[in-house]
């Protein structure tokens, strides 16, 4: 039992092809990375840990685990309207497994290249499998959670429910019929960080976040931070076809309170709604911000609707 940080060197070879982008003065290999921050922008930074058999099956494809770990973090940048710059990887592994590491590195670097983000540092330790990634981006027009105002329209991007509906398939649970495993794995492991949508709404939206825990729970975070409440029309939710295909009647519930889709939920002042609609984004209005104390009221055919499980509880 000894502390020996900074030993990313031992697995550095696996990441030798990591893209090195603008602003990286010194990358992996010294006590610190040295980075030149962009002028005229704020830095946005977020850290997430994924634990084996809690956030992903330990036996999953290492490339898919890596892709998801980085995409989930990039989604936090999108939620703030920040453009990706750099990330670090803290990887805890039960043992050094060359084949696993190679696949993990391939998945990670493919994702890094796709989003133009540089791996600038890391740590590897021996222990139960877990992955901690911290991303940093630059933001000129950051979107926060605390800017929603009474009367604002509530929007969501893309489609909801696919990742939650895909989870039983990803976990190998027995399901009726022949589920589309490829589509399920794509929905769960390869969420699309909504960076372009965030950039488009940076001047328009009053608040935003990414939907990781479920729409109702996450919109609740906007409402709590902003000191308002929200009314949501469930019929307006953009339910993913894959959710209907995999979950049937439960698709709407998964769209409302399932997580892991990493779409954006954002609010738009009424005077900006016409401007937003002209952009032709893949985003729909699902409700309105109202007076209140952080509550989200979901309505279905004129009746209040309550999810069976209201978002993810961490402990």
Which residues belong to the annotated binding site for substrate?
55, 260, 312
Question: Hey, what are 84's tokens?
Answer: 């990706």
Here the contacts of 246-251 (C-beta below 8 Å, separation 24 or greater) are 246/162, 246/165, 246/166, 246/168, 246/169, 246/175, 246/179, 246/180, 246/184, 247/161, 247/164, 247/165, 250/165, 251/161, 251/165
CA nearest 92: which of 48, 52, 33, 134? 52
- State how far the Cα of 65 lies from the Cα of 59, in Å rounded to an integer: 10
Residues 122 and 90 sit within 8 Å (Cβ to Cβ): yes
Residues 210-249 that bind its own copies (CB under 8 A): 210, 212-213, 221, 225
CB of 100 to its own copies, least distance (A): 12
Residues 270 and 153 sit within 8 Å (Cβ to Cβ): yes
Of the residues 16, 59, 99, 127, which one makes contact with its own copies according to CB under 8 A? 127
Which residues are CB-neighbours of 32 under 8 A, at least 6 positions away?
26, 121
* 171 makes contact with its own copies (CB under 8 A): yes
Binding site members for ATP: 122-123, 145, 212
Binding site members: 31, 46, 48, 55, 76, 122-123, 145, 210, 212-213, 260, 312
Residues 33-52 that bind its own copies (CB under 8 A): 33-37, 42-52
Only segment of 89-97, 175-183, 268-276, 297-305 that touches its own copies (CB under 8 A):
89-97
CA nearest 305: which of 235, 248, 203, 243? 235
CB of 179 to its own copies, least distance (A): 17
- State how far the Cα of 177 lies from the Cα of 170, in Å rounded to an integer: 15
* 257 makes contact with its own copies (CB under 8 A): no
* 73 makes contact with its own copies (CB under 8 A): yes
Binding-site string for its own copies from residue 90 to residue 119, where x marks contact by CB under 8 A and - marks none: x-xx-xx-----------------------
Q: Dmax of the chain from CA atoms?
A: 62
* 16 makes contact with its own copies (CB under 8 A): no
Of the residues 259, 263, 267, 287, which one makes contact with its own copies according to CB under 8 A? 259
Question: Would strands 207-210 and 153-157 be described as parallel, antiparallel, or unpaired?
Answer: unpaired
Binding-site string for its own copies from residue 140 to residue 169, where x marks contact by CB under 8 A and - marks none: --x-xxx--------------------x--
* 59 makes contact with its own copies (CB under 8 A): no
* 88 makes contact with its own copies (CB under 8 A): yes
């Amino acid at each position: 039992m000894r502390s020996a940080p900074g030993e990313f060197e031992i697995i550095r070879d696996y990441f030798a092809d990591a893209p090195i982008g603008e602003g990286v003065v010194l990358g992996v290999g010294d006590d610190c990375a040295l980075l030149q921050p962009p002028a005229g922008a704020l830095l946005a930074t977020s850290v997430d840990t994924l634990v084996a058999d809690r956030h992903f099956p330990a036996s999953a494809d290492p490339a898919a685990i890596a892709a998801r770990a980085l995409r989930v973090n990039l989604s936090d940048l999108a939620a703030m309207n920040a453009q990706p710059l750099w990330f670090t990887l803290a990887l805890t592994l039960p043992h050094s497994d060359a084949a696993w590491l190679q696949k993990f590195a391939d998945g990670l670097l493919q994702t890094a290249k796709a989003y133009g983000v540089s791996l600038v540092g890391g740590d590897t330790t021996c222990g139960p499998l877990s992955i901690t990634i911290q991303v940093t981006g630059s933001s000129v027009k950051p979107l926060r959670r605390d800017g929603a105002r009474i009367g604002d329209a509530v929007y969501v991007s893309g489609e909801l429910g696919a990742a939650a509906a895909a989870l039983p398939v990803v976990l190998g649970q027995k399901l009726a019929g022949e589920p589309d495993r490829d589509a399920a794995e794509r929905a769960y492991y390869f969420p699309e960080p909504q960076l372009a949508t965030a950039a488009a709404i940076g001047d328009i939206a009053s608040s935003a976040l990414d939907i990781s825990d479920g729409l109702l729970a996450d919109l609740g975070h906007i409402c709590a931070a902003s000191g308002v409440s929200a009314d949501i029309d469930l019929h307006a939710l953009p339910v993913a076809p894959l959710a209907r295909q995999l979950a049937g009647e439960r698709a709407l519930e998964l769209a409302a309170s399932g997580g892991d889709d990493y779409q954006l939920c954002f609010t738009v002042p009424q005077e900006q709604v016409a401007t937003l609609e002209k952009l032709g984004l893949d985003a729909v209005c699902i409700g309105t911000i109202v007076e209140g104390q952080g509550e989200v009221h979901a309505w279905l055919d004129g009746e209040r609707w309550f999810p069976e499980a209201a978002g993810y509880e961490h402990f």
